[in-house]
Structure 1
Amino acid sequence: MSATTPAGQSPIPAAAPASLSTREPQVPADRLVAEMVPPPRFDSARFATYIPDPGQPSQAEAVRVLSGFAEGLGGAHATGAGKRRWFARAKQPAPAGPRGVYLDGGYGVGKTHLLASLWHATPAEPALKAFGTFVELTNLVGALGFQQTVRTLSGHRLLCIDEFELDDPGDTVLVSSLLGKLVEAGVALAATSNTLPGKLGEGRFAAADFLREIQGLSAHFKALRIDGEDYRHRGLPEAPAPYSDEQVTKAAYATPGASLDDFPQLLGHLARVHPSRYGALTDDLTAVCLTDVTPVPDQSTALRLVVLADRLYDREVPVLASGVPFDALFSEEMLAGGYRKKYFRAISRLTALARDAKPLVAG
């Protein structure tokens, strides 16, 4: 692959694209804490920019309820009173009843937009608000330890948890204990999921064995149902079909800041990188180019791909691919199983990113 040069001169080799498969980022714990803010895609998300579907009254109702919830988090401590008062506040009795809101609905109805809007609308300094996915929250506990995580987040006015899912019994007990401590400290909670809080873990593990913990989680939230169709594909053309290996490779070389990877090789590399570092894996990329996309071979690989798809979507990184279309990534068995909502979300988001990548292919 060579750059264009004047006639009579030797071609200048183009710089090779980056490769995700060679990156092994190290993410310090303080970065995990500092990055607990809405992702770049939702920097400008506000209640006023959420466009409710006129045919789905629950969407407009969600804006009304969440706006009131944000206003209710104002008060004497909302203008930077400092963490000393917050720790003092932790000694106060926890308020009766649910201390949070739980946005339940299908993928693509704008739950993350609403959650980010709540974060922005809450009258407190950014350092007193935290926003992260469920995976990022459990990764934070792994990096800091349980007690330090409690101390760090107890000084916050609001904790927003996106994509709330319980994939194993250990997470159930961990998150139940963590949120209980934070509610006692006076921290307000908000979460999104495709599963009602009382149904978390259903279809994934023996949820009945952990019913007490799951019911404890549910008690912290008032559920708010949001109905609707996937906005990412509402009224839009179908996603572009996969390109050829040659088209993807040429686009990768022609796009500054793009990466180029063989898809099966990338999947193997993801198994060696902790999911907490998938965001850092994509640092400074303008596009991700993948050749030979094939169906994922097993559920562990599929779940890692879901996390990568989420991080790429958060960061608005287009994805150009050859091979099978993204709606063929997961087997029928996977799409009918307990993680099906995660897989459908990944398909939805990757399809949107594939649409964003269409301009990268010349002609």
Structure 2
Amino acid sequence: MSRSLPRPLRWGVVSTSAPAAGTSHIADAAPESLCAREPHVPADRLVAEMVPPPRFQTARFETYVPDERQPSQAEAVRVLSGFAAGLGGAHAVGTKRRFFGRKPAAPQGPRGIYLDGGYGVGKTHLLASLWHATPAAPEHKAFGTFVELTNLVGALGFQQTVRTLSEHRLLCIDEFELDDPGDTVLVSTLLGKLVEAGVALAATSNTLPGKLGEGRFAAADFLREIQGLSAHFRALRIDGEDYRHRGLPEAPAPYSDEQVAKAAYATEGASLDDFPRLLEHLAKVHPSRYGALTDGLTAVCLTGAEPVPDQSTALRLVVLADRLYDREVPVLASGVPFDRLFSEDMLKGGYRKKYFRAISRLTALARDAAPLVSERQ
């Protein structure tokens, strides 16, 4: 299956928004509404689109800027460069399976690299750089988030997913976090099959592989599966502070509802939604489709941002923030600041690293959105 590099896609998004009366002097049409979109992602395109997202299309080891105060960052570039170079040559294990019909011996030792570190140290940049540096055609390497990987299994079935990904040289998994026991068993089994087939693995997370699931479910009951996952990876720690805010001014304060609405009408390709209503709509769309939900947007404008009411809603918002960040879509909002979207209990719980990542990314996108107001008002 041939694939192209990342690009904006039209995923069959259904939108029912219509121009608002009396707004033609501001824009040609009313803004889009995320709540009016019902994206449908064909299963046969899921693997074909497993490539680095637009934000990381040009990511390379050469463009990663290590913090001189954090030697582990430069070391990560060195280790990953060597790992990529070692993936050249024939896909020997897969070839042996096809031509001789015998089950090959499982490789000894870790077959992958696991990038562990706080949010904002450049893990996704390095993961995308590894994908680009690996000497294989795009159709022989895959890049996706953990959510996208589990969704692929749901769409294709376990055995077909194994057969499809077994032909790959490399599988990169971003935001690797296990939120329930079912995912633990599923991914452990899948990665074991892929390693057996000779596929190299690389993953990013904020949690060491032996600690996945800790604080979120009864990890002790699934210790064997978690330890099995850990055995596939060499953990590579990356220290440092969040580069998105290193030396930059504070994020802009929330705007008024009127400012947000005017900016949305004046910005071609922008969406405009009430924040609480958007949270309700997210519950009706599978998180694997949140990327398609934002397809083609130049900005997301939200009125009435307020603290999220519960953990399930908060986790959906995290996924949306990740997809917006991947696609470099600015976010303009009124209401509470983004660092007040999640409660103190949430920021102290098992998902705290996800919430801090979302705050970091939304803050960066809010900074990107500031010119939408200053240039037009």
TM-score interval (norm. to shorter) = over 0.9
Letter aligned with residue 182 of structure 1: L
2:350 aligned partner: 338
1:23 aligned partner: 37
**Residues 1:67 and 2:67 are matched in the alignment:** no
Q: 5 Å matches for 1:105-144? A: 105-144=117-156
- Identify unmatched segments of 5+ residues in structure 1: 5-11
Could you tell me whether the CA contact under 8 Å between 1:290 and 1:320 is conserved in 2?
yes
1:187 aligned partner: 199
* Alignment CA distance shift 1:229-1:87 (3 Å): farther
Tell me, in whole angstroms, the C-alpha distance in 2 between the residues paired with 1:36 and 1:207: 29
SS of the counterpart of 2:162?
Answer: helix
Tell me, in whole angstroms, the C-alpha distance in 1 between the residues paired with 2:245 and 2:29: 35
Tell me, in whole angstroms, the C-alpha distance in 2 between the residues paired with 1:224 and 1:38: 21
**Residues 1:321 and 2:333 are matched in the alignment:** yes
1:9 aligned partner: none
CA drift at 1:33: 1.2
- Normalised by the length of structure 1, the TM-score is 0.94
SS of the counterpart of 2:173?
Answer: strand
Identify which of 151, 156, 166 aligns with 2:178. 166
Tell me, in whole angstroms, the C-alpha distance in 1 between the residues paired with 2:97 and 2:56: 27
CA RMSD between the two structures: 1.5
Identify which of 246, 254, 258 aligns with 1:242. 254
SS of the counterpart of 2:82?
Answer: helix
**Residues 1:147 and 2:130 are matched in the alignment:** no
1:7 aligned partner: none
2:23 aligned partner: 2
2:209 aligned partner: 197
CA drift at 1:297: 0.2
Deviations 1:13-55 (A, max 9, x none): 7411100001111111122111110000000000000000000
1:217 aligned partner: 229
Could you tell me whether the CA contact under 8 Å between 2:27 and 2:268 is conserved in 1?
no
- Normalised by the length of structure 2, the TM-score is 0.91
Identify which of 95, 101, 104 aligns with 1:92. 104
Could you tell me whether the CA contact under 8 Å between 1:87 and 1:155 is conserved in 2?
no
- Identify unmatched segments of 5+ residues in structure 2: 1-21
1:230 aligned partner: 242
Could you tell me whether the CA contact under 8 Å between 1:108 and 1:232 is conserved in 2?
yes
1:37 aligned partner: 51
Deviates more, 1:69-78 or 1:272-281: 69-78
**Residues 1:311 and 2:323 are matched in the alignment:** yes
Q: 5 Å matches for 1:291-310? A: 291-310=303-322
1:103 aligned partner: 115
Percent sequence identity is: 86
1:47 aligned partner: 61
Tell me, in whole angstroms, the C-alpha distance in 2 between the residues paired with 1:311 and 1:85: 38
Could you tell me whether the CA contact under 8 Å between 1:86 and 1:156 is conserved in 2?
no
Could you tell me whether the CA contact under 8 Å between 1:86 and 1:154 is conserved in 2?
no
2:6 aligned partner: none
Tell me, in whole angstroms, the C-alpha distance in 2 between the residues paired with 1:99 and 1:221: 6
Tell me, in whole angstroms, the C-alpha distance in 2 between the residues paired with 1:102 and 1:42: 19
Could you tell me whether the CA contact under 8 Å between 1:18 and 1:259 is conserved in 2?
yes
Tell me, in whole angstroms, the C-alpha distance in 2 between the residues paired with 1:208 and 1:175: 17
2:365 aligned partner: 353
Could you tell me whether the CA contact under 8 Å between 2:97 and 2:103 is conserved in 1?
no
* Alignment CA distance shift 1:211-1:255 (3 Å): same
- Moved runs in structure 1, 4+ residues, more than 6 A? 83-86
CA drift at 1:88: 4.8
Tell me, in whole angstroms, the C-alpha distance in 2 between the residues paired with 1:86 and 1:288: 48
